[in-house]
């Protein structure tokens, strides 16, 4: 009975060894020469190595949340478009209501200036 699980155990061991080998090989062979350019902030909007209690710009996170919201909208549109023939007029009207609410929210954010980056 246990011989049926041997391929799974072998797969896990080999996967762990390959992952650990890549990490150790990268650590041993990669040059470690930090400079001002490498230590500068990258896509986060604030310095990475400062006090954790400092004030930072919340607009970055607002734009990120809005991106996720409208990205999820597309995730709902693809399955809807595939089964549109099967769900008929009811499905079409339901999606138009959903998109209408989403567009009203988008216009609200636009008017409030949430999408402006000064």
Is the distance from CB of 42 to CB of 78 less than 8 angstroms?
A: no
The first and second tokens of residue 18, run together, are 């390959």
Least confident span in 24-38, 46-60, 86-100: 46-60
Q: Give whole-number Cα distances, 98 to 55, 63, 71, 110, in Å.
A: 36, 21, 14, 18
Residue 50 has pLDDT above 70, yes or no: no
Q: What is the mean pLDDT of residues 90-97?
A: 92
What are the tens digits of pLDDT across the range 2-21? 788 999 999 999 999 999 99
The whole-chain average pLDDT of the chain stands at 83
- pLDDT value of residue 52: 63
Question: What local confidence, expressed as pLDDT, does residue 2 receive?
Answer: 78
Q: Where are the beta strands (DSSP E) in 4-114?
A: none
Predicted pLDDT of residue 43: 61
Take residue 38 and report the two structure tokens written for it: 């490498």
Tokens of 33: 């020469």
């Amino acid at each position: 009975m246990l011989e049926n699980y041997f391929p799974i155990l072998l797969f896990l061991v080999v996967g762990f060894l390959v992952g650990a080998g890549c990490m150790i090989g990268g650590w041993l062979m990669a040059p470690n020469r930090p400079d001002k350019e490498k230590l500068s902030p990258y896509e986060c909007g604030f310095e990475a190595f400062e006090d954790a209690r400092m004030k930072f710009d919340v607009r970055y996170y607002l734009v990120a949340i809005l991106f996720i919201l409208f990205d999820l909208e597309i995730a709902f549109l693809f399955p809807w478009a595939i089964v549109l023939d099967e769900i008929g007029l009811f499905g079409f009207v339901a999606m138009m209501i959903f998109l209408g609410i989403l567009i009203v929210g988008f216009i609200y954010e636009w008017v409030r200036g949430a999408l402006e980056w000064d």
